[in-house]
Amino acid sequence: MMKIEQGRTWKNWAQTFESQPEKIFYPSSINEVSTIVKEAAIEGKNIRVIGAGHSFTRLVESDEWLISLDALSGIESIDKDNGTVTVFGGTRLYHVGEELGKQGFSQENLGDINVQSIAGAISTGTHGTGLQFGNISTQAIKIWLVTAAGEILPISKTENAQYYNACLVSLGTLGIIVKVTLKIIESPVYEYKSDQIEFSILKKNLTQLIESNRHFEFYLFPYSDLIQIKTMNISAQKPKNLRLHHFKNLLLENYLFFILSEVCRLFPKTCRFISRLSSKSVGRTSIAAHSYQLFATPRMVKFREIEYCIPLEHLLPAIQEIRECIEEKKHKVHFPIECRMVKADDLWLSPSYKRDSAYIACHMYKGMPYEDYFHDMEQIMKKYDGRPHWGKMHNRSNNELYNLYPKFADFLSIKNELDPYELFLNGYLKDLLNDKDLMNMKKVQ
Ligand SMILES: Cc1cc2nc3c(=O)[nH]c(=O)nc-3n(C[C@H](O)[C@H](O)[C@H](O)COP(=O)(O)OP(=O)(O)OC[C@H]3O[C@@H](n4cnc5c(N)ncnc54)[C@H](O)[C@@H]3O)c2cc1C
């Protein structure tokens, strides 16, 4: 019997919104997903699919029906010869990593947490860092989509190929991704290094750091000239036991950071001092391990976040402006700003569509005012043609999105074809993907 919950309040991880859906369904087979969709169409209900609820935006808000694929999860098969793995849509990334790791394989790149569902990560263009690699959606070579008609549609570059570039980053608006085939690599041992450098050194060496490291990211600390840089490169070293490394991470980046964040919340004037203190405490670390043990770290301190994707060539002027703006406006923020690099791709709604990109993420501790800070950061990102991360907070209208994404109108026509009665939209997405406004705008032009 399929599990169905009624009368439950559903909250996302960041608790930026909550929903009181009529029902939450937990199907455990693809056929059950298809049956729910057909019933929704008959009863005139909207459906939103939840992954792990790690998006900050109101993507999965619903007062009608929610579907969770938590029970439709796990590895279906690993094809070692062709370097692929096929997993069900609800599978969490840590599960994919652990199972692949046992067989000597891994995903080529990951973000900084691994608790998302694979379908949820793909649907928002979740990314890691490293200019040789696209976002996680680009790892998907085939997906199986349950459409609004309840049909199970395989989509790849050779099957139903007209939908491929639209479906991979599609926010759950074209159907429900029930299964995915991902390309994988033989799992290398990586050397992870973290170090502290001056901003002036970063400026001089930025291009070289980006180009010469397989995975490179850096953190700007508000009010500080010290930068944390992190790299991961393939190494011939033997993998180490990471217990101490994980323990240190838990202690410093979670428990201690939580205490410091509470001090900032209660005494916002301490933000400047605490940010500087944090920047000074970045130690030199080097550790060798397999990828699924290294990419992700636990995130126990709750925060709000905006993240923008800008063309890579604007990275340096953008971060200079961010540093100046924080100083000038005296923003009360102690969370470091995370900067990562991602290769261009062809996915229509991917923020890195057709451009090698830098992602800049700004966080604010939960409970502290974030509006002015995020507003100022968003203005800077707009200047540099920034496209917002779909899962992170932003204030862009659908007209603006239309101008930012050359294939936005094509995406909307596929949406209208696959879901003509808007079964998969909630109010938030109806506004964001409102093609009537766009049609009027085009007429005026
Ligand atoms: C602490 C934290 C750290 C993060 N780190 C990163 C990072 O390093 N890099 C990065 O890019 N992002 C990061 N994110 C954002 C996060 O990766 C994305 O928001 C991601 O989409 C969340 O996946 P999820 O499984 O929680 O999906 P949800 O947030 O539950 O859903 C996201 C979208 O996917 C859709 N969806 C879910 N399942 C399906 C399905 N089966 N079929 C169709 N659509 C579906 C939903 O309808 C929704 O539109 C982070 C978020 C948090 C809270």
Count other Cβ atoms within 10 Å, centred on residue 327. Answer: 12
Query: Is the pLDDT assigned to residue 401 strictly greater than 90?
Result: yes
Token pair listed for 91 = 């599978």
Atom number of ligand 1 nearest to Cα 135: 11
Ligand 1 centre from 280 Cα, in Å?
Answer: 32
- For residue 169, the model assigns a pLDDT of 98
> At 4, which helix (H) or strand (E)?
strand 3-6
Could you read off the pLDDT of 29-58 as tens digits, one per residue? 999 999 999 999 999 999 999 999 999 999
* Residue 145 CB–ligand 1 contact under 6 Å: no
Q: How far is the CA of 125 from the centre of ligand 1 (A)?
A: 8
69 lines ligand 1 (CB under 6 A): yes
Pairing of strands 226-234, 337-342: unpaired
134 lines ligand 1 (CB under 6 A): no
Is 169 close to ligand 1, i.e. is its CB under 6 Å away?
no
59 lines ligand 1 (CB under 6 A): yes
Q: Provide the residue count of the chain.
A: 445
CA-closest candidate to residue 278, choices 356, 335, 202 = 335
Return the residue whose CA atom lies nearest to atom 3 of ligand 1: 113
Task: Judge whether residue 441 has pLDDT over 80.
Answer: no
Average pLDDT over residues 12-29: 96
Percent of the chain with pLDDT over 70: 98
Is residue 358 within 8 A of residue 314, CB to CB? The reply is yes
Average pLDDT over residues 314-319: 98
What is the C-alpha separation between 371 and 364, in angstroms, rounded? 10
Closest ligand 1 atom to the C-alpha of 49?
A: 47
pLDDT digits (tens, 9 = 90+) for 226-240: 999 999 999 999 888
